[in-house]
Amino acid sequence: MERINFENNVTKASAETFNELQDNIEEAINGTILYNNTNGTTSAFTLNDSIENYDYIEIYYHSNDASGAESSVKITGGSVKIINLLYLWYVSGTIYFKQSNLAINGINATFVNNIQWTNADGSLTSGDYIFVTKVIGYKQ
């Protein structure tokens, strides 16, 4: 983007330059949606762009339970990341601890594991417990 020069309180910037500036500001605030799935997924998925092109990545996810609560985690960008997604839910005297590791390499995202532990019976099981719904990339 070209630099805006001001001389004697008169700008030499074009409307195109201001529109580009506004677009850059909006992208910095809102980020770029790299993945969006309202229901979420527990399967491998592909991002619209590589995480290497972003300073920060924000991952939104929810659990398979009926609480409807969504969580997110924000991490630095880079080439390869393994992100720990956690969810804790308490209902009717039972604690549910759900954990998943999500590996992202460039544009490819895969679940390394997806597990649940409950204090009701002390069981640790693998399954579809954490669903990724959205990934947003931010540039500084």
Strands (DSSP E) found in the chain: 6-7, 10-11, 32-41, 45-46, 56-63, 70-76, 80-91, 94-105, 108-118, 124-126, 130-138
Cβ–Cβ under 8 Å, residues 119 and 91: no
* pLDDT > 80? residue 20: no
| The pLDDT of residue 7 | 63
| The pLDDT of residue 89 | 87
| The pLDDT of residue 131 | 96
Average pLDDT over residues 27-33: 77
| The pLDDT of residue 15 | 67
pTM: 0.80
C-alpha 22: how far from chain center: 23
Cβ–Cβ under 8 Å, residues 103 and 81: yes
Q: Distance (Å, rounded) from C-alpha 138 to C-alpha 49?
A: 12
Tell which wins on pLDDT, 80 or 103.
103
Q: What is the pLDDT of residues 55-69, one digit of tens each?
A: 999 999 999 987 778
Cβ–Cβ under 8 Å, residues 81 and 51: yes
Which residues, listed in sequence order, are joined to residue 131 by a DSSP beta bridge? Answer: 62
Q: What is the pLDDT of residues 86-137, one digit of tens each?
A: 999 888 899 999 999 999 999 999 999 999 999 988 889 999 999 999 999 9
The residue ranges of every structural domain in the chain are 1-30, 32-138
Q: What letter represents residue 53's amino acid?
A: N
Tell which wins on pLDDT, 91 or 22.
91
Residue 38, phi then psi, degrees to nearest 5: -55, -45
Q: What is the pLDDT of residues 66-79, one digit of tens each?
A: 777 889 999 998 88
Which residues, listed in sequence order, are joined to residue 75 by a DSSP beta bridge? Answer: 57
